Amino acid sequence: MSERDPRVDEYLAGLPSWQQEVFGELRDILHEADPAIEETIKRSVQPYFVLDGTVAAFLAAKDHVNLFVYDGGIVPDPSGLVTAGHDNATARTIGFREGDPIDREALLVFLRRLIADNRAGGWRKLTGRR
């Protein structure tokens, strides 16, 4: 497994406990999807997960948390994970509120497909969009 960025730990430590738990589980799932995934901080404070391009990012809000997935909208979502951004050209959102379950298996399938697309050149290359 790749190393965990201590700056991501700092970001998580500043959140309410339920958000820490959700992001902690999502973080584990991202690393399980591909152990080569790397963590970083962009925009001064926001955790990003990259592997041959951006895979995902975390953003906490007052009453929910978001996992932004950077797939250009091309990864199939038969489990209905995506909660917003369906028509966004670059990223979609998988949102969670306190107490929401995380469908680990469906998320792993989704993330592994996104990572495979990144390794194949990324959604821009695969779709011909710029």
Q: Which two tokens stand for residue 116?
A: 């495979």
Q: What is the dihedral of CA 42, 45, 49, 53, to 10 degrees?
A: -10
Distance separating alpha carbons of residues 48 and 51, to the nearest angstrom:
10
DSSP state of 84: B
- The pTM of the full predicted model, rounded to 2 decimals, is 0.94
Nearest CA to 33 among 122, 110, 127?
110
Residues 1-16 pLDDT 10s: 578 999 999 999 999 9
Give me the domains of the chain, ranges plus CATH numbers: 6-124 (3.90.1150.200)
State residue 1's pLDDT score. 54
